[in-house]
Structure 1
């Protein structure tokens, strides 16, 4: 008998979007991070035009959040370490009877790095699940929402360097990870990518999250980050990912149609080779909130490609450079809650 729980595709209707607001920490610096706060707020203010949005805010950041956020954004006070809710928050699932579940993954700061603080963030998954009125489903698997992508029909994309990371799950193998993903999110077919993008293995990286590399806009189809410049190390990485996907099949036994999403033209920033990726967008009700990188031609081409991949949705581009400078993108800071008959009635406040 299979699991009653299923992680819906991101394209299925949402009840709301969840985010967490930046606060002073190792990643952002000792003071309230103004540039990053403005970037997080820009994403929230764009998304709330499409669907309700709840923002977790540490008490120290409340004044800035109130100043920058659209009044339509609901604020919930929550002590936080960091602001990557895709990873510290729960993964929402549903069952065949209309119930909402929230998988509370074990979280250890992307592998318990010397810089990562997670004593407060490890409690966020259960807190958000309870606030959403979901059945909280604890998991011993150290995993993050950015480490998985699903098609809603049993297929999950993931990377060997995340779930099999010895700093996360020292005793795990593929079979154990797949069994836990089947139990928690209803995944019946795991497509293992060998690694992630180069920058993601540096100081503030996640060691290979899939949500910056590839996503499934519809069953049988994959949007793949495509670094076309051979001078960038991700040129070889994306070629490897392409070969892996070409040999894979999804839960329905289909080969993937691979749609290449070209990387921006910028190769480096002050820290080295960038991991700027248009794959790291979030789908909302009637729209897509996409990453922009200050490159009008490339940003427009990506917007057009995303509009084709998600027919009937309006694509809104937000400058994501300040987010990427901290180690992630728009998908990394958002988490969708699927709509179910039992998922309404969230209690939130303006703080």
Structure 2
């Protein structure tokens, strides 16, 4: 049986999310409250276009319902954190249109010292069960934010994630590619060298280089890529190198990649004072919509225009993502699509 992961712009059955609870990522009551408001705003923005199911921890239902409103489905399961893109399953479809779920090994983004993952390591199988689909287990340590597909055989990856010693020591590049291709139905991997500076220690919570904050497919043969225009920021040169590299690449169909540059916000520092990894690339495509990160920045509207041009038939919704980035991710990191198969 051959499965493939559909591109994010194909129709969805629903979106899965996970509700923030008390944990090291949200270390104070104020931070947790701010995170919940942000997660709820994203959920409501997505709900305008498709159903949303929010997984919450024990005793969290009342708070979740109060902020989410009546239109978001709630499901209780034990949780450690709230990043459904990474802890949830990667949904795939076979030739007959039947849905299944890939359950990667989750080890807290490379067993980082601040992370807990006893419960989150089981969420992918819980979500698959709730969706009523079979689970395909993988031995690869991986997360949904560490990959991006075009639905036509190409996958974007970063070397510091799947090839890093924190996740898959002893795996060769060829072995990692073979496993990813077998699970996602891809045939060509395009490897970026690394992610953004603030995604690595000692800059706080991070993933060690997830690709979905750096580059993403917007259509077959078209990639949106993060640009840091200011040479004072340490991401300036790595972004320049990423874009130059992407422009030398072809996809699985042999098409040269068209790279659409998306400038970073003008803010060089985050609300917490460190280097910002604020990025518009970490957006989410839902049915007829684009939910786009905003940062109360002059470039928010510029980014909205770029994405509006790429997706002219979708409504672009800007959501303040600064509280989400404070926890180590963005809008794409907290959402996971379930493809529509009928």
- TM-score bracket, normalised by the shorter chain, equals over 0.9
For 2:75 and 2:29, locate their aligned partners in 1 and report how far apart those are by CA, in whole Å.
Answer: 21
Residue of structure 2 equivalent to 1:14: 12
Cα offsets for 1:283-342 (capped at 9, x unmatched): 0000100000012x311111110011112000000000000011000000000000013x
Residue of structure 1 equivalent to 2:200: 201
- Checking the alignment, whether the CA contact within 8 Å between 1:101 and 1:137 is kept in structure 2 is yes
For 1:172 and 1:239, locate their aligned partners in 2 and report how far apart those are by CA, in whole Å.
Answer: 29
Cα offsets for 1:34-77 (capped at 9, x unmatched): 00000000000111010000000001322210110021100000
Residue of structure 2 equivalent to 1:276: 278
For 1:181 and 1:28, locate their aligned partners in 2 and report how far apart those are by CA, in whole Å.
Answer: 32
Residue of structure 1 equivalent to 2:258: 257
For 2:249 and 2:132, locate their aligned partners in 1 and report how far apart those are by CA, in whole Å.
Answer: 37
The Cα shift of 1:30 comes to 5.3
TM-score by length of 2: 0.97
- What pairs with 1:1-351 in structure 2 (closer than 5 Å)? 4-29=2-27, 31=29, 33-202=32-201, 203-269=204-270, 270-295=272-297, 297-341=298-342
- Uncovered stretches (5+) of structure 1, i.e. residues with no partner: 342-351
Residue of structure 2 equivalent to 1:348: none
For 1:257 and 1:112, locate their aligned partners in 2 and report how far apart those are by CA, in whole Å.
Answer: 36
Q: 1:300 to 1:30 in 2, by over 3 A?
A: closer
2:285 aligns to what SS in structure 1?
strand
- Checking the alignment, whether the CA contact within 8 Å between 1:178 and 1:187 is kept in structure 2 is no
1:125 aligns to what SS in structure 2?
helix
For 1:272 and 1:282, locate their aligned partners in 2 and report how far apart those are by CA, in whole Å.
Answer: 25
For 1:70 and 1:149, locate their aligned partners in 2 and report how far apart those are by CA, in whole Å.
Answer: 31
- Checking the alignment, whether the CA contact within 8 Å between 1:23 and 1:60 is kept in structure 2 is no
TM-score by length of 1: 0.95
- Uncovered stretches (5+) of structure 2, i.e. residues with no partner: none
- Checking the alignment, whether the CA contact within 8 Å between 1:226 and 1:238 is kept in structure 2 is yes
For 1:94 and 1:339, locate their aligned partners in 2 and report how far apart those are by CA, in whole Å.
Answer: 9
- Checking the alignment, whether the CA contact within 8 Å between 1:281 and 1:329 is kept in structure 2 is yes
- Checking the alignment, whether the CA contact within 8 Å between 1:86 and 1:332 is kept in structure 2 is yes
- Checking the alignment, whether the CA contact within 8 Å between 1:10 and 1:336 is kept in structure 2 is yes
Residue of structure 2 equivalent to 1:344: none
Name the Cα RMSD after superposition. 1.0
The Cα shift of 1:221 comes to 0.6
The Cα shift of 1:200 comes to 0.4
